[in-house]
Amino acid sequence: MHSDDHPAALDMPLVTERREALSVAATVALGLAGLWARCAGFAQVLTPEGVLLKPTDSHYYVRFAQLQIEAFPRFVSFDPWVNFPEGARIIWPPVHTGWVALHELFTRANPEVGAAWAGVTASAIWLCLSAVALWRTFGARVTVLAMAVLALLPAMIESSALGNADHHVHEPYLALFVSLCIVRMAKRPGRGGAAVALGTVLAVSRLLTTGTILLLPCAALGLVACALLKREASGRLARDALIAGGVASTLSAVFALMWGEPFSLEPVALSGFLPAASVAVFGLVAAVLALRARAVPFAAAAALPALLALALVGRSLLSARAQLAGDDPLLKVVIESQPLWRVDWAYPSLLGSIGVIFPIAWLGLAMRAVQKRAAEALVFAATTLVLTAAFVAQLRFVQPLGGPLAVTFAIGSLYLMDSIAPVPRRIAWALITLALLALMPALRPREPFDPPTDEALVRSTMSWIRHHTPSPPDYAVVASHDVGHLLTLWAQRPNVASPFSQAPAHLRGNARAAAVLGATDDEAAYRAALDTGARYVLSVPFSVILGRDKSRDDETIARRLLDHAAMGEDGRPATAHFRLLHDSAEERLRVEKGPFARVFEVVPGAVIAGSAPPGAAVEATLKLRTNLGQGLTYRRATVAGPDGRFELRVAYPTRDSASEVRAEGPYALLMGGVPRTVDVPEEAVRAGARVDLSP
């Protein structure tokens, strides 16, 4: 192989065959170590109670893949069980979904087992491809150091760990291959092959992940950076940019026609956005490069369609900017959407010890780009800069950063060490070795979760809902967005709120659920539940109700149902519409304990009607016994009118009930000090019927 194929190895002696064999062995060993690190949490995933996937999107991927298996060969993107009753179009990538479905086919009896391995097997393929591509491009030393980062960087392990079926596993490697394609274009401008590869990678990336949009500015800045080094190559790079843009736009348009919505311009969807954005970005890049080559007519011809495409996607870009700015209530609270400076543990947790050396390595990379006019150094300096800025803005963008970061770490560190005296060089090698050794704890098998995760604590209740509520469901279960995916997978019931965000249907669904859970009035919560087609409410511990003031948390129906089953605590009236059906045996992780999950039925409530002295206080009390044997006291009260008539709505029957929560006798009424008892049948509670007291 020609030495020009190894730009990071310039000015170094050629490695001997023995050293090359050792480098191959080290690369293979690092790849295997990386795979083991991804499986080291097996005790947390493959539990005696069943597979426990990583929250949260992995759970929905199991269902989404099942939908594709049932609909094959069609690709089904609409799910009526998400954000009921409206339903939602799921924008997830079709090829990765097919990858998860393929794993589930091998474990049809328990598809979660197959899905648990989807990230591990995908990363195995990517690590192999990356090792080959890095070796061919940079040689042995860069490959070994880069593979250490690709294999053991904490963020990359987590995104592809056993139990994680999410599509983010692909993003580090896609960003890496985009950068490698640009390096090849810079080395051989005008040949077209690398440009075709770049366009193909960009188009295919949308079939593997939803995070393609960041790859376009990486490619653009990388190409412009190359032209800064070699003005004489600007014209050929301009033609390559047009080729890359043409391939990317054509293929992505075909993919949108096959699996998406080609006439939509939604940035995060498989739509016409990527074809139009590819035309805009690469057209403008080609124009800039052509101007540097003084090819004004060529620049004008490239700029015209690019500007038209830019005008076409302008509104969509503003929409994407609004989403990144946090206009979505869900994006405001989830950790992955927070800026880096707000989460003090994020940088060391996601980058580990590599995060200490990364800024220094980037400076070394920039020095090589300037001093040696090395195209590969400038390309990776540019792409890493774009992705680091995105990571600082939102933590979730650490995923695409991982690939270019690995090469930046390798080339920058090696250049700095090769530029200093032997003694400091040995010290530097020692520091890098320590940084890499600090990643080794990832290889240690992890203990089962103690205490259990929220997902483990709610699983039995989801099973209860599945087996004790009507099927097939023509209704929804209202619950916190945190457990939305678990409802569709484990309970096999439609949700109203889900962890999905950004799309209008998801925003509306989450808002409808928040209107129920965040209501401070029983009647308002009941009306909101009816409006969204909810027949049941699942109450679990929550940190926030989306779009609601957390300072009034104790007043919400969600908190009252969870803490007290809304029995009439702290002077508040008991609920008339939310009837407790089931308490979980799993307890909350707090001093006071209590059921971790509670299931309520949404009912009109029976109306006890009778007469008492005008203005007299009327109180109905009912002793209840839950499925766990806990005694509860349900109490409702009203005041008789001027004519002595009163109506009192109650949520619990005293007879004919099939519920696990049973009344221990009739209602005890106290009407102006006069005691009386009354039975309320199940049918009256479900129909909202009157139960008239005889004179």
- Residues written for the chain: 695
Helix (H, G, I), strand (E, B) or coil at 608: strand
Tokens linked to 224: 């412009």
Angle (CA) 302 304 310, round 5°: 105
Per-residue pLDDT at 661 exceeds 60: yes
pLDDT digits (tens, 9 = 90+) for 374-428: 989 999 999 999 999 999 999 999 999 999 999 999 999 999 998 888 888 889 8
Give, for 134, the enclosing helix (H) or strand (E).
helix 118-138
Per-residue pLDDT at 14 exceeds 50: no
Tokens linked to 346: 């994020």
pLDDT band at 9 (very low <50, low <70, confident <90, very high): very low
Alpha-carbon gap, residue 424 to 387, rounded angstroms: 31
Spatial CA neighbour of 170 closest among 195, 201, 139: 201
Spatial CA neighbour of 574 closest among 668, 653, 638, 511: 638
Helix (H, G, I), strand (E, B) or coil at 621: strand
pLDDT digits (tens, 9 = 90+) for 219-261: 999 999 888 877 788 899 999 999 999 999 999 999 999 999 9
pLDDT for res 51: 94
Alpha-carbon gap, residue 402 to 153, rounded angstroms: 8
Per-residue pLDDT at 1 exceeds 50: no
Tell me whether strands 476-478 and 534-539 are parallel, antiparallel or unpaired: parallel
Residue 458: HSE in the Cβ half-sphere, 13 Å Cα cutoff: 25
Alpha-carbon gap, residue 77 to 61, rounded angstroms: 12
pLDDT for res 16: 67
As a whole number, the mean pLDDT across the chain is 92
Per-residue pLDDT at 585 exceeds 70: yes
Query: Which residues is 438 bridged to in the sheet?
Result: none
Q: Could you give the C-alpha distances from 61 to 92, 167, 218, 334, 490, in angstroms and in order?
A: 9, 9, 29, 19, 13
SS3 readout for 342-373: HCCCHHHHHHCCHHHHHHHHHHHHHHHHHHCC
ω into residue 348 within 30 of 0, thus cis? no
pLDDT digits (tens, 9 = 90+) for 296-317: 999 999 999 999 999 888 877 7
Q: Could you give the C-alpha distances from 475 to 35, 122, 301, 459, in angstroms and in order?
A: 43, 37, 56, 20
Q: Tell me which residue has tokens 């839950």.
A: 626
Per-residue pLDDT at 465 exceeds 70: yes
Task: Tell me the H-state helices in 153-214.
Answer: 154-159, 171-187, 193-208
pLDDT digits (tens, 9 = 90+) for 331-388: 888 888 899 999 999 999 999 999 999 999 999 999 999 898 898 999 999 999 999 9
Spatial CA neighbour of 384 closest among 352, 367, 361, 368: 361
pLDDT digits (tens, 9 = 90+) for 116-165: 999 999 999 999 999 999 999 999 999 999 999 999 999 999 999 999 99
Alpha-carbon gap, residue 279 to 283, rounded angstroms: 6
Q: Which of 107-121, 537-551, 599-613 has the lowest mean pLDDT?
A: 537-551
Per-residue pLDDT at 268 exceeds 50: yes
Spatial CA neighbour of 651 closest among 531, 558, 522, 480: 522
pLDDT digits (tens, 9 = 90+) for 551-570: 678 889 999 999 999 998 77
Q: Could you give the C-alpha distances from 303 to 224, 230, 289, 306, 586, in angstroms and in order?
A: 15, 22, 11, 5, 63
Mean pLDDT of 450-478: 94
Tokens linked to 492: 């096999």
Which letter, b or e, does each residue of 302-334 get, where b requires 16 or more Cβ atoms within 10 Å of its Cβ?
A: bbeebeebbebbeebbebbeebbeeebbbbebb
pLDDT for res 327: 66
Give, for 557, the enclosing helix (H) or strand (E).
helix 557-564
pLDDT digits (tens, 9 = 90+) for 509-535: 999 999 999 999 999 999 999 999 999
Alpha-carbon gap, residue 207 to 200, rounded angstroms: 11
Mean pLDDT of 35-63: 95
pLDDT for res 8: 44
Per-residue pLDDT at 653 exceeds 80: yes
Q: Tell me which residue has tokens 């290889």.
A: 443
pLDDT for res 65: 97
Alpha-carbon gap, residue 394 to 555, rounded angstroms: 32
